[in-house]
Amino acid sequence: MVHKINFDDIRPFDDSEVNQSLRILLQDEGFQHILQFIFKDQEKIDQIKLLLSHVHTIKDLQLKFMYQMVDDLILKKSTDGLTSSGLDLLDKNASYLFISNHRDIILDSAIMNFLIVLEGMNTTEIAIGNNLLIEKWIEYTVKLNRAFVVRRNLPVRELLMASQKLSEYIRRDITRKNTSVWIAQREGRTKDGNDKTQQSLLKMLNLSNIHEVGEGFKELRIVPLSISYEIEPCGISKVAELYKKQTEGFEKTQEDDLRSMGEGLVRPKGRVHFGFGEPISSQIDLICKEETISNQIEKLAEIIDANIYSNFKLWPNNYIAEDILNQTNTNLDQYTSEQFDRFSTMLNEAVETISGDKEVIRTMFLQMYVNPLINKRKSLM
């Protein structure tokens, strides 16, 4: 007899829990503040509350409310346009494990689901760290939007058990429930623009594998996703955090995460592109040639990275940053003088805003934009 695992402590809410959860959410003081911050006008807030009180399913919530919010409050107000590639090549009726680079706490998965809905596919379940469930309204909001919880910062034995359960949950979603899943390639956002898949993520996914390593990863139908913002979300605060880590041993707080969530939603991001790769099933055969599981995991991480780099869309800012950093004009054909001036202004603002060694800070900010260019070139070699 197969032992049935109880996923209640990590799963999203289901349709039977929508009404009760929304009632609790609408009475939450923190959620009231968020509605006030977003909509300002009380009449509009009352309309939103009325709309939410008549929502009965997760699908209704996402299509009637969240989809419109992403479009109106994020895409139209803080971006200069959204494009995507590759989604039309995926089977709308199949389930996938989307593994992407990670640049923004909320936007990465929210915009991805917006695009998936546009394509006529069902929204994915989203992995979110329990360290981000800072307040009750955040937990309820994400669980109402098909997010499941990744438990972090546990003692070794508990962490292993939690990882096993998480692995079983993701594999069940994809192979038995025909439900797609999104998970970031690493814990925490990339701060320096150098996107790298953590092997610990792949080891976690392999914990629920009952086949050979390659076969187990094939059944997860991994699709690498490349997320590219013209203007790095929270770029100044990312560089500030990196600088403090190197000079002061900076430790991030929950307040820092909360601030990053807010900044990511409202700060300008320029143009945005999501590049969906093809499922890497055939490429996974390459890892079988490696002798040890450790080497196979390492090879798989390299394959995912190469796919993310090759589908990553570069912007004029990436080329400008390289020219400034190297004091050359090699990339002149990739940008205009107006674009150069805008980026230089952004660079100067970052250097002035962050306290510390100005030359080091300047280099860090530039490197954040140059690293994707370096990685893209490597993938084309």
Domain ranges of the chain: 56-233+251-256+266-310, 316-380
- Do 272 and 82 contact (CB within 8 A), yes or no? yes
Q: Please report the pLDDT score of residue 248 as a whole number.
A: 80
Report percent pLDDT > 70 for the chain. 99
- Do 272 and 264 contact (CB within 8 A), yes or no? no
CATH T-level topology, domain 56-233+251-256+266-310: Glycerol-3-phosphate (1)-acyltransferase (3.40.1130)
Q: Please report the pLDDT score of residue 251 as a whole number.
A: 74
Q: Which residues of the chain have pLDDT under 50?
A: 1-2
Task: Tell me the whole-structure pTM to 2 decimals.
Answer: 0.95
- Do 352 and 365 contact (CB within 8 A), yes or no? no
Which residues touch 14 (CB under 8 Å, ≥6 apart)? 58
> What gap in Å lies between CA 76 and CA 336, rounded to an integer?
25
Q: Measure the CA angle with vertex 178, ends 293 and 218; round to 5°.
A: 25
Angle 254-266/235-248 helices, nearest 10 degrees?
150
Query: b vs e for 244-278, b when ≥16 Cβ sit within 10 Å of the residue's Cβ?
Result: beeeeeeeeeeeebeebbebbbebebbbbbbbbbe
Q: Please report the pLDDT score of residue 1 as a whole number.
A: 39
Q: Please report the pLDDT score of residue 3 as a whole number.
A: 61
Q: In terms of Cα–Cα distance, which of 340, 356, 355 is closest to 369?
A: 340
Q: Please report the pLDDT score of residue 284 as a whole number.
A: 95
Q: Please report the pLDDT score of residue 12 as a whole number.
A: 97
Q: What is the residue whose two structure tokens read 């009380």?
A: 42
Tens of pLDDT, residues 166-197: 999 999 999 999 999 999 999 999 999 999 99
